[in-house]
Amino acid sequence: MSAWAPRLRRGARLGFDTVRRTPVVLFPEGVLVLNATAAAVVGACDGVATVPDIVGGLAGRYADVRGDDVLTLLRGLVARGVLRPEETGGTG
């Protein structure tokens, strides 16, 4: 798995939409509605925890977490400009 440590980009934040009663990511270009698992993934993106760290941490909380699914979500959020991929210097 990848040795990068994602983090929310400047101007983006994890929040909660009280109307929809669901977690969201707010960023200058819009709002992304998240399910509970995706919110946990985004919440773990601190720029320090690597992708394997995030997957390992979530595996204890969610029985159905798969590394490939988490990586796909993270890459999609990077492509949308919501997350920044911080390099860790690892060989992942």
Please count the structural domains in the chain.
1
Query: pTM for the full model?
Result: 0.86
Q: Above 50 in pLDDT, residue 92?
A: no
Q: Above 70 in pLDDT, residue 57?
A: yes
Name the nearest CA neighbour of 37 among 27, 23, 25, 52.
23
Confidence of residue 63 (pLDDT cuts 50, 70, 90): confident
Name the nearest CA neighbour of 45 among 12, 79, 92.
12
- Does the CA dihedral 43-45-46-50 come out positive or negative? positive
- Identify the three-state secondary structure at position 42: helix
In a domain, 89, yes or no: no
CATH code of the domain covering residue 32: 3.90.930
Helices 36-43/51-59 angle, 10° precision: 130
Domain that holds residue 73: 4-79
In a domain, 92, yes or no: no
Across residues 22-32, what is the average pLDDT?
94
Residue 27, beta-bridge partner list: 30
Q: What is the mean pLDDT of the chain?
A: 90
In a domain, 91, yes or no: no
User: Between the CA atoms of 30, 33, 37 and 38, what dihedral angle is there, to the nearest 10 degrees?
Assistant: -20
In a domain, 87, yes or no: no
Q: Above 80 in pLDDT, residue 91?
A: no
The pLDDT score that the predictor gives to residue 87 is 76
- Helix locations, 1-92, DSSP H: 36-43, 51-59, 67-79
